[in-house]
Structure 1
Amino acid sequence: MTNKILKYSSALLLLAAMAFTGCKKLDDINHDPTKPTTAEPQYLLAGSQKAAMDVLYSGLQNGYIAMHYAQYWSANSRTDDSRYKLDEGNNSTMWNNLYRISLNNLQTIVRQNATKPATPELAVQTAIARVSSCWIYQILADAYGNVPYSKTFQLDGGNLKPAYDDAKGIYGHLLDTLQAQIAIFDANKGVTATGDVIYNGASEKWAKLAHSLMLRIAIRMADADGAKAKQIIEAHYQLAFTSNDDNAQFTYLNAAPNKFPFNDSEREIPDFFVSGTMVDYMQATGDPRLPIYARPSKDDKALKGMPYGWASADATRPAPGRFSYPGTQIYSATMPGILMNYAEVEFILAEAAARGMSVGEASTHYVNGIKASIDYWKKLTNNTSITDAAVDKFVGAVPYNAADWRNVIGTQKWLALYPQGFQGWFERTRLNFKKPGGQALFIAPVSGSMDQSAPFVPYRLTYLVTEQAQNQAAYNDAAKAIGGDLKGTRLWYNKF
């Protein structure tokens, strides 16, 4: 694994060097230096995975945007971000890195492999690239709404002014693409591809992930197209993840440049506190994950969350030492970059069953999801204090209630998605859940929102400012199609 990661780091450095190399010929000057034309597919695959994970777990994107909007964290520095003032540089980096690096490299793999003699290994590698693209495109569609998709990599891979596709239509294409890749994986069982850092290229593992991603897509559209969601989930749930051994995650190492993007192994990170929203609820239910999710405050040595969105300029705000930083594992150099895990699958199935789909008992899947999440964190942190008795006691404190399934499942799924800020935010807005029983869980920023369109929570990110200037016609069409380029504009599947 070490050699593999070092290889893809070298490949990324090579591509960066290409971007700054001087050119003498006119055709060299006109050549796009960021487009990898000679790098081998295995390096492009590893590099695209790392680039996507790096931006999705960066403090600038995950921390200042997603972890705030999911209300897992509250800001200590730059408190305007927790009041929904979007940093355009952070927004631009997320969009550009996912498109120009990860998706561009994945599309290049598909194109390069299409020119080579067909082999099972190339077929699996290409299928992995396509599944990885589906994962990223769903994140973009869930973060922004309509986004460039079908026209993005035309003109030899570099359409500078692509049209924006309808997000609902993108969902349909993603489902079709995943289904096609599953057929390839099934036809090539036992085959491994090079370059993959998630599953070391194992076709069977990638098939399970593809089935699981179909469940994620389907449940997210359940309120907008229940019949389609039911069809997909019932057809794929038995072939999705069945244990934590199936979890899809990117392994980081305790060595630069392959450390977890946001880690405190070399310096203290004072930027964020865990939110009072999360800490207070976990304390009230006796959640055994709380000492993992948060660390004791400096002053009181207690687990205490900062009330969400409290501006540093407010003179009534207590001293920072009163509040808890995120847990040591969350800031570890070797914290895995989670793509999708078994707990999420179980909560998807719990919700599906609650909606009347034929996938088993909702209560069973709900309990499985809770236990899978606790077991994951227990093993990751080598925590021996979490006993089976403690887990059973906690499960008893948060019982399943069919009449209140949206709130019951929503709260526990939200906790299980920590620290996947983007997925936690998407689920918060989609399910619009409260505490079991109906009492409010989330709060508006204490010091008020800085965005009038989103006083309580943003439903999306606004498009890049550069898109308004450089791709104006497509931008205008997209903004009109979704109902306005505002953070408060609801996505097509947000019905509650």
Structure 2
Amino acid sequence: MTKKILKYSSVLLLLASVAISSCKKLDEINHDPTKPTTADPQYLLTGAQKSTMDVLYSGLQNGYIAMHYAQFWSGNSRTNDSQYQLDEGNNATLWNNLYRISLHNLDDLVKQNNAKINEPGKANQNAIAKITSAWIYQILADTYGNIPYSQAFQSTTNITPKYDDAQTIYNSLLDTLQAQINVLDTAQTSFNAGDIIYNGNVLKWKKLAHSLMLRMAIRMSDANPTKAKQIIEAHYKDAISSNLENAQLLYLNAAPNKFPLNDTEREIADFFVSTTLVDYMKSVNDPRLGIYARPSHDDDTIKGMPYGLAASDKGRLSQTHYSYPGKQIYSATMPGILMGYPEVEFILAEAAARGMNVGDAATHYTNGIKASINYWRLLTSNTNITDAGIQTYIAGVPYVAADWRNVIGTQKWLALYPQGFQAWFERTRLKFNKPGGAPLFITPVSGSLDASVKMVPFRLTYLQSEQTQNTASYNAAAAAIGGDTKGTMLWYNKF
């Protein structure tokens, strides 16, 4: 993994009467951030990238929502979240930060550059901004279903945008990504500063665009197998092909640029790793377990908490009995992962298993496991993980063509830790069990607190403010998807 030193700090920019968080290199602050002027494109990009990563990896959104729904963690200080009682404040922050900060920044960036699009680097800058927007819009569509899209930034006066059909949004985003791949020119400059994902590397942005198309295509593979096949076969050779090309934000061990969920200043007692994660990893002798979780305070043993165990449950043991997430997961310098090589390989393994012409499923499956373990081995400088040990592990979790959904599903799930949102989306899409078919996931031990959900939510409900401030659009969207409940399936949940 290539290491680069990024120096940036938070500033506040006023854009169209909306407070926009942004970040920049410390030695490049050369304007007054308190004046309500339009921000430079590089600062808009930094703000969009960091604000998105911050909310996706916050304890409030990733921890209380996504990591629970992926069943990686179970609640300690607040157990209702594990039982699917959604905190509306956390839900609103996710929606508002992605729309009002991240997407707003990117929309403004593109509009600024459009007036001088023929200047060197501007076309590449816009392409990078649009790829970033496509990533964010897909997260929103996978989280909520139908969302504001075509009218989201149509004008400054439209405060009641319609909700577009999520499948239509997917098709539009795929078109957008393809268009940006065509625009990106490696012979031209892009961002000389401000890009805290790829540092302006045009080739890597092009690879990410191909990879995001793979992510979208595999997600729709049960709903539209023909289109999924066409996209994956056309783009897989140009996608991310090593951990050196992973798209991620490297956080720093200095406020305000630490990884959002870090325990460098205080112990985080909100979450325990689940028995679902721990027991399965123990059963296959997974070498990543000591990275994903830490021993309990009682002894040197990693012990999960049964998922969805209420604070009042008589079976709940002392807090010191259970294990917190691993030290690296709570490190100030834990990277915020946008998309990595392991995910690409598991996408291709599934594509091959479905009969797509992308190579051998077993080879891609093995590559995915190796890439994930090697990522964590390098990130943590773990000398206990050896090449021989990785081979032994792979031999113990072999690829089985007749059971590909469960085999690939479990390993992809493990590789996506701690990307709670992506792991949750894949859990609901693939509906996988342990290899062989035994259940992996459980219903909340103390029961669900949402009548529409028993096993796992398929989506988040729309913001309560949308019901009162955008009533007509909200009602139309709720009707179109089959009801605004967490139990309503998304358009691609066909299996």
Q: Tell me the equivalent position of 2:373.
A: 374
- The amino acid across from 1:375 in the alignment is N
- The amino acid across from 2:292 in the alignment is Y
Does the CA-based 8 Å contact 1:190-1:202 persist in structure 2? Answer: no
Does the CA-based 8 Å contact 2:14-2:34 persist in structure 1? Answer: yes
Q: Cα deviation per residue 1:298-343 (whole Å; 9 max; x = unaligned)?
A: 0122111111000011122111111110000000000000000000
Alignment of 1:472-483 (within 5 A): 472-483=471-482
User: Does structure 1 residue 152 correspond to structure 2 residue 117?
Assistant: no
- The amino acid across from 1:322 in the alignment is H
Alignment of 1:315-464 (within 5 A): 315-464=314-463
Cα distance change, pair 342–117 in 1 and its aligned pair in 2 (3 A): closer
Query: Residue 74 of structure 1: SS of its match in structure 2?
Result: strand
Does the CA-based 8 Å contact 2:223-2:492 persist in structure 1? Answer: yes
Alignment of 1:92-103 (within 5 A): 92-103=92-103
Residues of 1 paired with 2:188 and 2:437: CA distance?
A: 49
- The amino acid across from 2:494 in the alignment is K
Residues of 1 paired with 2:438 and 2:129: CA distance?
A: 43
User: Does structure 1 residue 5 correspond to structure 2 residue 3?
Assistant: no
Cα distance change, pair 72–419 in 1 and its aligned pair in 2 (3 A): same
Q: Tell me the equivalent position of 1:60.
A: 60
Q: Tell me the equivalent position of 1:301.
A: 300
Pairwise CA distance, 1:35: 12
Q: Tell me the equivalent position of 1:142.
A: 142
User: Does structure 1 residue 73 correspond to structure 2 residue 73?
Assistant: yes
Residues of 2 paired with 1:311 and 1:479: CA distance?
A: 31
Q: Tell me the equivalent position of 2:190.
A: 192
Cα distance change, pair 117–84 in 1 and its aligned pair in 2 (3 A): closer
Q: Cα deviation per residue 1:447-485 (whole Å; 9 max; x = unaligned)?
A: 000011111100000000000000000000000000000
Pairwise CA distance, 1:192: 3.4
Residues of 2 paired with 1:16 and 1:89: CA distance?
A: 24
Residues of 2 paired with 1:440 and 1:307: CA distance?
A: 14
Residues of 1 paired with 2:141 and 2:134: CA distance?
A: 10
Q: Cα deviation per residue 1:430-450 (whole Å; 9 max; x = unaligned)?
A: 000000000000000000000
Query: Residue 155 of structure 1: SS of its match in structure 2?
Result: coil
Pairwise CA distance, 1:118: 1.6
Residues of 1 paired with 2:36 and 2:149: CA distance?
A: 20
Does the CA-based 8 Å contact 1:192-1:200 persist in structure 2? Answer: no
Query: Residue 438 of structure 2: SS of its match in structure 1?
Result: coil
TM-score for the superposition, normalised by structure 2: 0.94
- The amino acid across from 1:107 in the alignment is D
Residues of 1 paired with 2:16 and 2:462: CA distance?
A: 30
Query: Residue 207 of structure 1: SS of its match in structure 2?
Result: helix
Does the CA-based 8 Å contact 1:222-1:229 persist in structure 2? Answer: yes
- The amino acid across from 1:191 in the alignment is T
- The amino acid across from 1:482 in the alignment is I
- The amino acid across from 2:46 in the alignment is A
User: Does structure 1 residue 251 correspond to structure 2 residue 244?
Assistant: no
Pairwise CA distance, 1:16: 9.4
Pairwise CA distance, 1:5: 1.6
Does the CA-based 8 Å contact 2:214-2:347 persist in structure 1? Answer: yes
- The amino acid across from 2:91 in the alignment is N
How many residue pairs get aligned? The number is 478
Pairwise CA distance, 1:36: 7.0
Over 4 Å off, 4+ runs: 1-4, 16-20, 33-37
Does the CA-based 8 Å contact 1:120-1:188 persist in structure 2? Answer: no
Residues of 2 paired with 1:444 and 1:315: CA distance?
A: 17
Cα distance change, pair 3–292 in 1 and its aligned pair in 2 (3 A): closer
- The amino acid across from 1:352 in the alignment is A
Q: Tell me the equivalent position of 1:50.
A: 50
Cα distance change, pair 241–35 in 1 and its aligned pair in 2 (3 A): farther
Residues of 2 paired with 1:46 and 1:126: CA distance?
A: 14
Does the CA-based 8 Å contact 1:285-1:398 persist in structure 2? Answer: yes
Pairwise CA distance, 1:14: 3.9
- The amino acid across from 1:192 in the alignment is S
Pairwise CA distance, 1:38: 1.3
- The amino acid across from 2:272 in the alignment is F
- The amino acid across from 2:428 in the alignment is T
Cα RMSD for the two superposed structures: 1.7
Pairwise CA distance, 1:155: 1.6
Structure 1 or 2: more helix by fraction: 1
Q: Cα deviation per residue 1:179-208 (whole Å; 9 max; x = unaligned)?
A: 0100111x3445332321100011100000
Q: Tell me the equivalent position of 1:169.
A: 168
Percentage of identical aligned residues: 69
Q: Tell me the equivalent position of 1:493.
A: 492
Q: Tell me the equivalent position of 2:30.
A: none
- The amino acid across from 2:53 in the alignment is M
Pairwise CA distance, 1:117: 5.1
Pairwise CA distance, 1:389: 1.1
Does the CA-based 8 Å contact 1:19-1:34 persist in structure 2? Answer: no
- The amino acid across from 1:153 in the alignment is F
Q: Cα deviation per residue 1:25-81 (whole Å; 9 max; x = unaligned)?
A: xxxxxxxx9997511111010011000000000000000000000000001111000
Pairwise CA distance, 1:154: 1.3
Q: Tell me the equivalent position of 2:25.
A: none
Residues of 2 paired with 1:385 and 1:112: CA distance?
A: 51
Q: Which runs of 5+ in 1 are unaligned?
A: 21-32
Q: Tell me the equivalent position of 1:218.
A: 217
Q: Which runs of 5+ in 2 are unaligned?
A: 20-32
